[in-house]
């Protein structure tokens, strides 16, 4: 299985997972069987940098609704983790302790348990303002 994980810096399997997929500066694509990996610069946007030949994404919080729906439409599974590093997340996935995300409103907190940083009224990428929680709203900040 080819797994794509958003990371703060490319540091192999020790790379720390970025808290928001869309804002990740890099992506690490790992073969779950061989543990071979490929680093991808995502400074122009993780949405554009995401390779087509992946089976799953493991993220630690925020992922836009449009990105999520696009991935699911291509048959790509999305998993959420509290792991800090790629290696920890891969171990969780292999051990069956990660649940597949079935739906997303827009974005959530990061893997440190904090909101992902926008101030009330800032856009989070899905067309609504951060902090909205009414029906059809965007973010479910905790």
Question: What pLDDT, in 10s, does the model give residues 15-45?
Answer: 999 998 888 999 999 999 999 999 999 988 8
Distance in angstroms (rounded) separating the CA atoms of residues 115 and 131: 10
Number of domain units in the chain: 1
CATH number assigned to the domain comprising residue 69: 3.30.420.130
Measured CA distances, 120 to 64, 115, 129, 135, 141 (Å):
17, 11, 7, 17, 11
What span, in angstroms and rounded, lies between the C-alpha atoms of 8 and 75? Answer: 26
Residue 57 inside a domain? The answer is: yes
What's the predicted TM-score (pTM) here? 0.73
Residue 109 lies in a domain: no
Q: Does residue 106 lie within any of the structural domains? A: no
Domain containing residue 7: 2-94
């Amino acid at each position: 299985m080819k797994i794509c994980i958003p990371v703060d810096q490319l540091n192999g399997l020790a790379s720390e997972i970025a808290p928001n997929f869309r804002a990740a500066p890099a992506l690490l694509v790992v073969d779950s069987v061989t543990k071979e990996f490929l680093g991808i610069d995502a400074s122009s946007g993780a949405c554009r940098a995401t390779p087509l030949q992946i089976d799953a994404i493991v993220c630690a919080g925020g992922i836009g609704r449009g990105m999520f729906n696009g991935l699911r439409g291509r048959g790509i599974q999305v998993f959420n983790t509290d792991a800090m590093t790629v290696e920890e997340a891969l171990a969780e996935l292999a051990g069956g302790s990660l649940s597949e995300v079935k739906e997303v409103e827009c974005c959530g907190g990061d893997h440190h348990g904090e909101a992902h940083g926008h101030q009330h009224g800032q856009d989070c990428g899905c067309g609504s303002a951060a902090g909205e929680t009414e029906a059809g709203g965007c973010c479910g900040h905790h």
